[in-house]
Amino acid sequence: MKKSRLKQFNFMIKVIVFILVLSSLGLAVLLFITSRGTDRDYAIDYTLPLNNEWTKIGSLEVGVGIRDVTPVMENYDTWTDIDGDGSYNPKVDEYLDRNGNGIFDFVWLAGFGQQRPAQGVNDQLWSRAIAFRNNGITIVLVSIDSIGITYDRYIPIRKMIERERNDITHVSFASTHTHNAPDTIGLWSYRLFFNSHFDDEYIELLQQRVCDSVIDAVNNLAPSDAVLAQAYVPRENFIRDSRPPIVVDHQLPVAWFKNKSTGETIATLTSWGMHPEGFGSKNLLISSDFIHYYRQAMENGLSGQNGFEGFGGKAIFFTGPVGGLMTQLQLPIVDRFGEIQDQNGKEKSQSQGENLAILAARALRNNSKAIEMDQQQVAVSAKTFYFPIGWPLKIMVGLGVVHPGVYGLPFSTRVRSEINAIRIGSIEILTTPGEIFPEIVDGGIETPVGADISTDPVEVPPLRKSMRGVINMNFNLGMDEVGYLVPISQWDRTPPYTYDYQDAPYGEVYVGDPKVSPLVHQNSIEVLQRLHRTLSSTKENNK
């Protein structure tokens, strides 16, 4: 009996060990599959034109294409906010299951909490593309009304574009970071759970329409003239920096492109660092926030007090250095009529957008400061790079839930991203794959008491001071959304905390690794230097 029981015991041990081994192998296979991501071998690294391949520089051509990327609300369920708290509570609130599938088919808004299904549309969301062509190079810049889109979802769009036409040298995408658009990342629609509401169909619609906007922009290319200007944005009435040190984006560079033959406006282009979140966390309407009112004012003008004549064409807006954290929440804004808008909502966002447009319009029509752009060349330096990520994002990336695609296993966990340096005549543009602190772009990095890493500022010199355009733009959420890019000397996840914080400040949790910002800075300087080297050869090649 004892031998029989011993055999049974040994057999059970073997079964348990076999199950554990099989489970471990299964988990390993699953992680291998989920951690690989899509288009795994995709990477770029080029500077164009090459030093010895510049063709004759003629007249700069410019074209615009826009496509509506607003979800079709008729395709989704409707719901009633019974308790009026601005969030969906399944125990209290009610919804209408239009197609009878028993699923909450909502547009889940991104940017604040996870219980914000949209109830309607305040204004349309857009993909706005502006194309530039000269000296054998065609570059398209695309601004998309979205919370953020990760690198893995931009790559298929590039491939879609390549299938339609082969004469586009480079396409650079960026999200405006509006907090009133569908979740395009997976953080606000329960994607981590079995009852995920992430809308893959919307992603497909978005990708196709972004592609279409690019094709339209290139089809509309025409010889152009350009006027450049730069306005100063004061802190008062415009910006609240919610995390010390107080460093904000004061620069509003703006360009006005006009058809060389007709004089009609093709587009205005600008960039400024501010979170589009003035509608607030209780908002349940789709909107591009203050950016909508800025674009509307630039195109159509403003009547009445502090009004101006519209420029026509299409207004293209890119979000500038927005980390740090730039917000209009808790900031009273005086509108153009002198009324104070101190509550989150449409009125505050409209006031900010119109106030910003007034600054831009005055700068462009200021004969003593606005200048005709005399340079016409087009060039780009672009590079895929890899950086480490920390907890908790590492888990979500490994599971393929957010920013899928892990590189460097088993000894490190890195993800793939991209930085672009672009020259359009006298305009220089640097894209950043996340929300960079203005300290890194314009200077002012500190080494505060309580920081986790005791070091002198590392991300120096400031990026904008390393740029050589007449006006210099930094596009945040460019080609990717990786979260906040905190200067390494201000990194703060463990006590004691900086600036007398009682708890860890907001920001580090997304990237999770302090080495990311120095890597972004280093690669940004590299692509800028490569761009400047090829630009320096234009005089020699165009004698």
pLDDT at 2: 58
pLDDT band with cut points at 50, 70 and 90 for residue 293: very high
**Which residues partner with 426 through β-bridges?**
none
- Report the pLDDT averaged over residues 211-227: 98
* Contact (CB, 8 A) for 510 and 484: yes
pLDDT band with cut points at 50, 70 and 90 for residue 398: confident
56/45 Cα distance (integer angstroms): 24
pLDDT band with cut points at 50, 70 and 90 for residue 56: very high
Interhelix angle 346-364/290-300, rounded to 10 degrees, is: 40
Average pLDDT over the chain reads 92
* Contact (CB, 8 A) for 133 and 219: no
pLDDT at 100: 87
169/381 Cα distance (integer angstroms): 11
List Cβ neighbours of 424 (8 Å cut-off, separation of 6 or more). Answer: 60, 132, 139, 378
* Contact (CB, 8 A) for 410 and 157: no
**3-class SS of residue 138:** strand
pLDDT higher than threshold 70 for residue 24: no
- Phi/psi for 447 (5° steps) reads -120, 80
pLDDT band with cut points at 50, 70 and 90 for residue 197: confident
pLDDT at 376: 96
pLDDT at 400: 82
pLDDT at 442: 98
pLDDT at 423: 98
CA 130: distance to chain centroid?
A: 16
pLDDT at 395: 83
- For 265-287, write each residue's pLDDT tens digit: 999 999 999 999 999 999 999 99
**3-class SS of residue 82:** coil
pLDDT higher than threshold 80 for residue 218: yes
- For 134-176, write each residue's pLDDT tens digit: 999 999 999 999 999 999 999 999 999 999 999 999 999 999 9
pLDDT band with cut points at 50, 70 and 90 for residue 540: very low
Domain ranges for the chain: 34-54+375-541
Q: Which of 74-78, 389-393, 415-419 has the weakest average pLDDT?
A: 389-393
pLDDT at 11: 67
**Which value, in Å, is the radius of gyration of the alpha carbons in the chain?**
25
pLDDT higher than threshold 50 for residue 543: no
Write out the E strands in 287-332: 301-302, 308-309, 314-319, 326-327
Determine if residue 114 is left, alpha or beta; phi over 0 gives left, psi from -120 to 50 gives alpha, anything else beta.
alpha
Which amino acid is it at 150?
A: T
pLDDT at 410: 58
pLDDT higher than threshold 70 for residue 426: yes
* Contact (CB, 8 A) for 405 and 452: no
CA dihedral of residues 509, 511, 513, 515 (deg, nearest 10) = -140
Write the DSSP assignment of 425-485 as a string of letters: TTEEEEE-SSEE-HHHHHS-----TT-SS--S--S-S-TGGG--SSEEEEETTBS----EE
275/290 Cα distance (integer angstroms): 9
pLDDT at 12: 73
Q: Which two tokens stand for residue 421?
A: 């340096």
pTM for the whole thing?
Answer: 0.94
pLDDT higher than threshold 50 for residue 541: no
User: How many of the other CB atoms lie within 10 Å of CB of 365?
Assistant: 15
- For 66-103, write each residue's pLDDT tens digit: 999 999 999 999 999 999 888 888 889 999 998 888 88
Burial of 320 (0-12, 13-18, 19+ CB in 10 A): buried
pLDDT at 331: 97
* Contact (CB, 8 A) for 493 and 508: yes
Q: Which two tokens stand for residue 87?
A: 């969030």
